Structure 1
Amino acid sequence: MSSRPDQTSPARATTRSYGDDPAQVYDVIPPSPGAPAAAGTVVVVHGGFWRQQYDREHARPEAQAFAAVGYHVVLAEYRRVGMPGGGVPGTLDDVRDLLASISLQADLPKPLVLVGHSAGGQLVTWVAGQSWARERGVAGVVSLAGVVDLGTADRMHLGSDATRDFVGSGPGTEAWRSADPMSTLPPKVPVRLVDGADDDTVPPAVADAYVATAKAAGGDVSVDLVEGADHFAVIDPTTPAFSHVLAAVHSLTSAP
């Protein structure tokens, strides 16, 4: 498999719904013509601190890059803070329902690997902790600069206290525990974290407690800290950091 995707022939996307809300949709992107065959489907979950103004369009180059190296790709949308039903529990319900829909699509081959950036990293690591993850065909998740520990993110006031806006309450509440990947360790599927060493939006230290606690509990978790990479390098197919992302995905789709 190529380590650098060819973006010259993007595949055409089709949009499907998994609910009645306009945000409950996902784009299906087939492997690019001429791309080498790759096993499975990559589900891209965008970030943006769970807020309404950030939608899936900024993750489209990333999604096309996975198609360019031969993967079937799903580019997911979900209800976000500021939208009816957005936040906890609605956003979590959307991710669960999204995966239920994808798992029934005959043209989206298993295994599924979830790739989430920033707030999307929180959502995919949340999935990794759910008892139904494997039932939905999830082989593993890749968190890119993910907000994988809500408590640490809260103490750092990341995104102008975006975590509290997302949950609707502070640490210690049932809603908080239901959304925090730290509450469901060890993960039920492998988790690969790819973080930029120069990320000042979601600093790599946000993941420290998650990784240590998950490993202590016997979880299959690893971290790739990419030198010279900032928050967005890990979703930019033109950067050297993206080869680390492709390697993480490939390690999960090729696992026995």
Structure 2
Amino acid sequence: MTRRYRHDYGDDPSQWGELFLPDLPVGGRHRGVVVVIHGGYWRSTYGAELGEPLAKDLAEHGMAAWNLEYRRAGNGGGWPGTFQDILAGIDKLADLAAPHALDLGRVVALGHSAGGHLAVWAAGRNRLEGLGPAEGSQVENSTDGVRLTGVVSQSGVLNLGGAERLSLSDGAVANLLAGPSSEFPGRHRMADPMAALPLDVPVYAVHALGDDDVPLSMSTTYVEASQAGPVPAQLVRVPGDHFALIDVTAEAYLTCRELVGGLLR
């Protein structure tokens, strides 16, 4: 049986998450947590409903899952709100650990599409201060809080500069960051997972071979750039289209679930 608990991490209607938990033996603790971060090219068209089936499935397979909602561009997010929310939402797990018997020694993010970008970006939070100042309001206390110990990116937009050059989803990157890199180079650099390399945690860049929404180059360029680091990212190709990765019956998703389980062991 799966139990679920909704918790807010801020005052905005989009600042919440839902914790999905499998049953535990008396006195037991959950072995780590999976933070599920949905996609939708950072726009408010899509929300946490995309991540709910994944979180429920993970809990049904014995894993605690935190399905995270956040402010998106056009919904109070963008720069820096979306990024602040991802860190605050992950940090909320520190408050939930004791009441829900969570072991935060393993916290793995599973992010789809734009959520893959945010998941890998959050894994580099300890390097944010070295990426230069952002225009206007900055992400505060970026190096503190709950650390991710691994990431599974599902056709993630992992090369933000490349995504801007390709104008993916009708300029989604410029929409997220409220302007082009020529106008706001600092925030574009701070928002790009490529700029936080090398990471010291494992990243699996899973990409669907039939993906027409996020090109394979978004994963391959990131993986190639990571190879000189202490923990090189790994590219995993799977069959299916962009949404096969969040179809809990599809081979593409089952591969992701297996990778997440391995990171929690």
Match of 1:214 among 226, 233, 254: 226
Whether 1:144 and 2:136 are equivalent positions in the alignment is no
Counterparts of 1:124 and 1:45 in 2: how far apart (Å)?
Answer: 7
> 1:66-215 maps to which residues of 2 (within 5 A)?
66-84=58-76, 86-105=77-96, 106=98, 107=100, 108-110=102-104, 111-131=106-126, 136-171=146-181, 173-215=185-227
1:206-238 C-alpha deviation (Å, 9 max, x unpaired):
122211111123333111101x31101111111
Deviation at 1:73, TM superposition (A): 0.9
Deviation at 1:33, TM superposition (A): 8.1
CA contact (8 A) 1:41 1:73 kept: yes
In the alignment, which residue of structure 2 is the partner of 1:14? Answer: 5
* Structure 1: unaligned runs, 5 residues or longer: 1-8
What SS does structure 1 have at the residue aligned with 2:22? coil
In the alignment, which residue of structure 2 is the partner of 1:236? Answer: 247
Counterparts of 2:144 and 2:154 in 1: how far apart (Å)?
Answer: 21
1:26-52 C-alpha deviation (Å, 9 max, x unpaired):
001111689xx9721111000000001
Aligned residues: 241
What is the TM-score with the length of structure 1 in the denominator? 0.88
CA contact (8 A) 2:44 2:74 kept: yes
What SS does structure 2 have at the residue aligned with 1:162? helix
Whether 1:27 and 2:38 are equivalent positions in the alignment is no
Report % sequence identity.
37
Counterparts of 1:221 and 1:67 in 2: how far apart (Å)?
Answer: 26
What SS does structure 2 have at the residue aligned with 1:104? helix
Amino acid at match of 2:259: A
After superposition, the CA RMSD in angstroms is: 1.9
In the alignment, which residue of structure 1 is the partner of 2:236? Answer: 224
* Structure 2: unaligned runs, 5 residues or longer: 127-141
1:18-72 C-alpha deviation (Å, 9 max, x unpaired):
11111100001111689xx972111100000000111001221111110110001
Amino acid at match of 1:41: V
Amino acid at match of 1:145: S
CA contact (8 A) 1:32 1:69 kept: no
CA contact (8 A) 2:220 2:235 kept: no
In the alignment, which residue of structure 2 is the partner of 1:46? Answer: 38
In the alignment, which residue of structure 2 is the partner of 1:4? Answer: none
What SS does structure 2 have at the residue aligned with 1:87? coil
Amino acid at match of 1:249: V
Counterparts of 1:168 and 1:137 in 2: how far apart (Å)?
Answer: 28
What SS does structure 2 have at the residue aligned with 1:44? strand
What is the TM-score with the length of structure 2 in the denominator? 0.85
Counterparts of 2:18 and 2:89 in 1: how far apart (Å)?
Answer: 11
The verdict on how the C-alpha distance between 1:112 and 1:27 changes in structure 2, with shifts beyond 3 A counting, is: same
Counterparts of 1:76 and 1:115 in 2: how far apart (Å)?
Answer: 10
CA contact (8 A) 2:123 2:147 kept: no
